[in-house]
Structure 1
Amino acid sequence: MLAETVSKFGHLDSVILSAGIGVMGSIANCTLLDWPKQFSVNVFSLIGTLQIAIPHLRASPNTGRIVLMSSGLGVMALPGLSAYCAAKAAVNSIARSLTLEEPDLVSLSVHPGIVDTAMIRELIETGADNGVHPATLKFFTDSLAAQKGLAKHPYPAVPAEVPARVFAWLAMNAPQELSGKVSSFYDDEIQKLMKEGAKAGTEAAA
């Protein structure tokens, strides 16, 4: 796919790495096969893509950008999602390493908040049978309810298109000062940059 992209457009300017699954279970009850399954998708597939993409990003006439989709669980933990938390922490570490190894590229890790997806709903529906702690299930259940104003939650769930717009903007416009950072799309810095970019685009089109 990358070869087709470069062939069609002449170069590759950015990649968004968002592959992810959620293996449920605690450290005590996950099998040793569950962990490689989690890391195979959430970590190793990203590395494989990066190894192909980086030479093209280096050659881009524009600043090459790498945006990795993290999670709030990469910097905090919830019981019953240990493999997922560890994998997302690894994603954050990859972003930091890329910044040191590829200083001419902009590499950042961003978590999209709690997104109303099939994966979240499956977690809520089946988590109790798969070793997920009741407090974790309540955390996500309340987040989905808060989206409709039915509960209070620090991070109300959002539809996927909301963070998707943020990731698309960052893939094209993320400044060098964000490189190596682990950010949230809630962060004032990112929201400010997006508003400034939208304003500049409107003025340029006028």
Structure 2
Amino acid sequence: MNPVVVVTGASKGIGLAVTTILLKKFHANVVAISRSTTPQLLELKSDALLILECDVSKALTGALQHAANHYQGLDGLVLNAGTLDPLCRITDDTPLSSWKKHFDVNFFSLVTAVNAAIPSLRRSKTGGKVVFVSSGAAQKGIAGWGPYNAGKAAMNSLCRTLAEEEPGVVSVAVRPGMVDTNMQTTLRAVGAFSMTEASYELFVKAHAEGKLVKPEECGHVIAALALRAPKSFSGQFVSWDSAECAPFRKE
């Protein structure tokens, strides 16, 4: 049987690219989990694709259990679902409830997903893989990105801990770079209100000069790692364009 990989946040951007590559290049069975189903995701529909609509902050356990039962197991888990909202300063009037809602999506859903998937990943004949889609923000405190910075840093910590606790499963966090997705559109539209001028202009300039990463470029690395990430990567935070990821990039 072909390997089975779950992708959260699969309806657009990086998640859609990863789903497409897993299906078309690596011939994997894919469970696409997203809050809603887009026309682009529906275009990929086949016997190898199971689409599940799910709010990752509320119903993820059931979705993953259904996925594992449907395919009699799981081999990989790509944790890509996330939100940038709220863009805010630590000391502004953003209510703490907004920070908590952010963490429900960007961090606590990861814990839920791992708990639900790990029994199947332990039994994977190819060796279970968990790929956390992280960000350079995990290491750099970009002004105006308080919740996002903290959530991605917590993600990387979770990845390291999972690698220690589950040595039979490879867990790796990947920095996809500045990717041409809806997040970048949002940043250009409203980022100036909370970011520093220098940081905001960096993103605007990258878009204007055509330097944003294409989702299928970093997505190829993520898809490949979900199937064949080596033990040496476990617990690591790697950049999609690093030398160590060269074997997993699109040829």
Q: Which range, TM-score by smaller chain? A: 0.7 to 0.9
Q: How far, CA to CA, are the matches of 2:77 and 2:160 in structure 1? A: 16
- Structure 2 equivalent of residue 9 of structure 1: 71
- Contact kept, 8 Å, 1:35 with 1:83, in 2: the verdict is yes
Q: How far, CA to CA, are the matches of 2:122 and 2:87 in structure 1? A: 37
Is 1:78 aligned with 2:142?
Answer: yes
Q: CA deviation at 1:113?
A: 0.3
- Contact kept, 8 Å, 2:65 with 2:116, in 1: the verdict is no
> What percentage of aligned pairs have identical amino acids?
36
Q: CA deviation at 1:73?
A: 0.5
How big is each residue's C-alpha offset from its partner over 1:131-150, in whole Å with a ceiling of 9 and x where there is no partner? Answer: 23222211211121232xxx
**1:143 paired residue among 198, 206, 209:** 206
- Structure 1 equivalent of residue 95 of structure 2: 31
- Structure 2 equivalent of residue 108 of structure 1: 172
Is 1:132 aligned with 2:192?
Answer: no
Once the two structures are overlaid, the 10-residue window that deviates more, 88-97 or 19-28, is 19-28
Q: How far, CA to CA, are the matches of 2:209 and 2:173 in structure 1? A: 26
Greater share of helix: 1
How big is each residue's C-alpha offset from its partner over 1:15-72, in whole Å with a ceiling of 9 and x where there is no partner? Answer: 0001111120111113212211221111011111111001110111220000000001
Is 1:94 aligned with 2:149?
Answer: no
User: Once superposed, which parts of structure 1, at least 4 consecutive aligned residues long, lie more than 4 Å away?
Assistant: none
**Matched position secondary structure for 1:33:** helix
Aligned residues: 187
Greater share of strand: 2
For residues 146-165 of structure 1, the aligned pairs below 5 Å read 146-147=209-210, 156-165=211-220
Q: What TM-score, normalized by structure 1, do the two folds share?
A: 0.85
- Structure 1 equivalent of residue 54 of structure 2: none
For residues 37-56 of structure 1, the aligned pairs below 5 Å read 37-56=101-120
AA aligned opposite 2:228: N
Q: CA deviation at 1:8?
A: 3.4
Q: Where in structure 1 are there 5+ consecutive unaligned residues?
A: 148-155, 199-206
- Contact kept, 8 Å, 1:65 with 1:106, in 2: the verdict is yes
- Contact kept, 8 Å, 1:17 with 1:68, in 2: the verdict is yes
How big is each residue's C-alpha offset from its partner over 1:103-135, in whole Å with a ceiling of 9 and x where there is no partner? Answer: 111001001000111121112111234x23222
AA aligned opposite 2:101: K
For the pair shown, the structure with the greater C-alpha radius of gyration is: 1
AA aligned opposite 1:168: A
AA aligned opposite 2:68: V
Is 1:168 aligned with 2:168?
Answer: no
**2:121 paired residue among 41, 51, 57:** 57
AA aligned opposite 2:145: L
Q: Where in structure 2 are there 5+ consecutive unaligned residues?
A: 1-62
- Structure 2 equivalent of residue 150 of structure 1: none
Q: How far, CA to CA, are the matches of 1:69 and 1:7 in structure 2? A: 25
- Give the alignment's Cα RMSD to 1 decimal: 1.6
AA aligned opposite 2:248: M
Once the two structures are overlaid, the 10-residue window that deviates more, 133-142 or 162-171, is 133-142
